[in-house]
C-alpha cells in the first residue's frame, strides 16, 4: 500500500479577524464605530483627526492593516480577505499606500 502524505491543515483564522470581516460593508469599507470594540484596534479609531481623512476611509485602512498584521502567516487568505477593502481604499483616496502605512504604525504603537 502506498502511503498518502496529507498537507498540513491551514492555520486557524484569528477570531478577531472573523469578527472584523463580518463588520465589512458591501462596498468593502468599514465604519469607524464598528471597529471600536475590536481588540487590537479600539483606540486607533481616535487617531482619525491626526490624518484628516473621512471616518470610513480611516476605518477601512485600520481594518486592512489589522488583518495584514494578524494574518502574516496566511498571505493568500489575507490577500483575499482584504481585496474588497483595498479596492474601496484605492478608488477613494489617491494616497492609499501612505494611509495604510500610517494605519500600520498606529496599530504598532498600541502594542508598545
Residue 16 vs residues 6, 52, 95: alpha-carbon distances, Å:
28, 27, 27
- Report the pLDDT value the prediction gives residue 112, as an integer from 0 to 100: 63
Residue 4 or 72, more confident:
72
Quickly state the pLDDT bin for 30 (edges 50, 70, 90): very high
Residues 6+ apart with CB under 8 A from 55: 31, 32, 48
Amino acid at each position: 500500500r502506498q502511503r498518502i502524505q496529507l498537507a498540513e491543515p491551514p492555520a486557524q483564522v484569528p477570531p478577531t479577524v472573523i469578527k472584523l470581516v463580518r463588520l465589512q460593508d458591501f462596498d468593502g469599507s468599514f465604519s469607524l464605530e464598528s471597529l471600536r470594540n475590536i481588540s487590537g484596534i479600539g483606540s486607533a479609531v481616535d487617531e482619525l483627526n491626526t490624518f484628516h481623512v473621512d471616518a470610513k476611509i480611516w476605518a477601512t485602512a485600520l481594518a486592512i492593516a489589522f488583518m495584514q498584521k494578524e494574518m502574516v502567516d496566511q498571505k493568500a487568505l489575507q490577500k483575499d480577505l482584504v481585496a474588497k477593502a483595498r479596492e474601496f481604499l484605492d478608488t477613494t483616496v489617491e494616497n492609499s499606500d501612505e494611509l495604510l502605512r500610517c494605519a500600520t504604525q498606529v496599530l504598532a504603537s498600541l502594542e508598545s
